[in-house]
Amino acid sequence: MLRRAELRIVGVGALVLAAAVFGWRTVFPSDERQIRRQLTRVAEHVNEKPQGLSAIAQAADVASAFADDVVIDLGEGTPIRGRDMVMGIVARLQPRTSHYEVRIRDMDVRVDDAGSASVDLSATTSGDNGMDAREFQLAMVKRDGRWLIARVTPVRVLEK
Amino acid sequence: MAHGLGRLIFGENPRRTTVRIFVLAAVSAVTFGWVLIPVRAEGISMMPTYRSGSLNLVNRLAFLMKSPERGDIVAIAIAGPHAVYIKRIVGLPGERIAIAEGTVRVNGRPLEEPYVRNRSAWTLPEVQLGSDEYFLIGDNRGMREEEHDFGRAHRSRIVGKVLF
């Protein structure tokens, strides 16, 4: 049987170990964790309701999550190509998107190698006109230590 | 006063009542979190069977022992189990499905659909369903075809059967 003093040492040791693991994971997050954090941050930026010049800052924040040669092919119309185009579209649509709340529901991250990963992501938008849900496939690339969105394609749930 | 209120809430045997509360809470959490999932229909594609805004329950265990059948109304996962399409199964794995002048044809034969009230002249060339694919469509065929999401979905997308 352990005595009270020994139990205390074991307890404190376990706490220190847990804190060390937590600290390590916070300071040096895994690739998967970085990607999740990055994409969650994009949704948070989209949900901001800026006005005036802050709207441009918001668009820049959103666009910074994309690679400079990103391709967003939603299957309708011309694909969006390049980070600058993303930024322009985000800024232009801001008055409309500010009425919506974007939530990432599911995220399945697969890190393929040190420089690329793929993500299956489903998101909902809710606003005055009810709710819409979509599923996307994202290709991510790691550049200068940061994970960036390189390609976005929608997943069709019901295929004709 | 406080003792009286406690007795009113917990009754003669507080320990047993507390256990009951915990059991009830646990059963409710499991039932409505995992087995019967509440979903709200958004949109008009399942009218007149379900109106937009109606609250429904999806039984996730419905297809544990048996396969989905034609005519079943099922929830199809889009964004996790809580954001789903609600559609009716009209085509089963391996079948050929087409739509001609608003009438669904299964393996070349017209499908009887008493739940459909209005029909627009939808057209879909014949598609062959895979061994794990179902063909799903809403009951409201009076709306414009391009505004109605319908088509093939893999079995793994089916979350469960819609009740009521």
pLDDT number for residue B85: 87
Question: Is A155 at the interface with chain B, CB within 8 A?
Answer: no
Estimate to the nearest angstrom the gap between the alpha carbon of B128 and the chain centroid.
24
Residue A136: inside a domain: yes
Residue B12: inside a domain: no
- Is the pLDDT at A97 greater than 80? The verdict is no
Q: Nearest Cα to A123, choosing from A108, A111, A139?
A: A108
What are the pLDDT digits (tens) for B71-112?
999 999 886 656 788 999 999 999 999 999 999 999 999 999
CATH code for the domain in which residue A128 is found = 3.10.450.50
Residue A86: inside a domain: yes
- Is the pLDDT at B66 greater than 60? The verdict is yes
Enumerate the residues of chain B whose CB falls inside 8 A of the CB of residue A160. 124, 127, 150-152
CATH code for the domain in which residue B77 is found = 2.10.109.10
How many domains does chain B divide into? Answer: 1
Q: The domain containing residue A114 runs over which residues?
A: 30-155
Q: Is the peptide bond before B48 cis (omega within 30 degrees of 0)?
A: yes
Q: Nearest Cα to A29, choosing from A138, A111, A105, A108?
A: A111
Please state the rounded mean pLDDT for residues B28-33.
Answer: 86
Q: The domain containing residue B148 runs over which residues?
A: 38-163
Residue B21: inside a domain: no
Mean pLDDT taken over chain A: 87
Enumerate the residues of chain A whose CB falls inside 8 A of the CB of residue B78. 122, 133-135, 157
Residue B3: inside a domain: no
- Is the pLDDT at B36 greater than 60? The verdict is yes
Residue A102: inside a domain: yes
Query: Do the beta carbons of residue B134 and residue B155 sit within 8 Å?
Result: yes
Select the residue from A134, A157, A159, A160 to test the B interface by mutation, using most B Cβ atoms within 10 A.
Answer: A157
Enumerate the residues of chain B whose CB falls inside 8 A of the CB of residue A130. 42-43, 52
Residue A137: inside a domain: yes
Q: What is the ipTM of this complex?
A: 0.70
How many domains does chain A divide into? Answer: 1
Query: Do the beta carbons of residue B103 and residue B118 sit within 8 Å?
Result: no
List C-alpha distances in Å: B131 to B72, B96, B136, B155: 18, 12, 15, 9
Residue B11: inside a domain: no
Select the residue from B42, B74, B78 to test the A interface by mutation, using most A Cβ atoms within 10 A.
Answer: B78
pLDDT-derived band of residue A3, with 50, 70 and 90 as boundaries? confident
Residue A59: inside a domain: yes
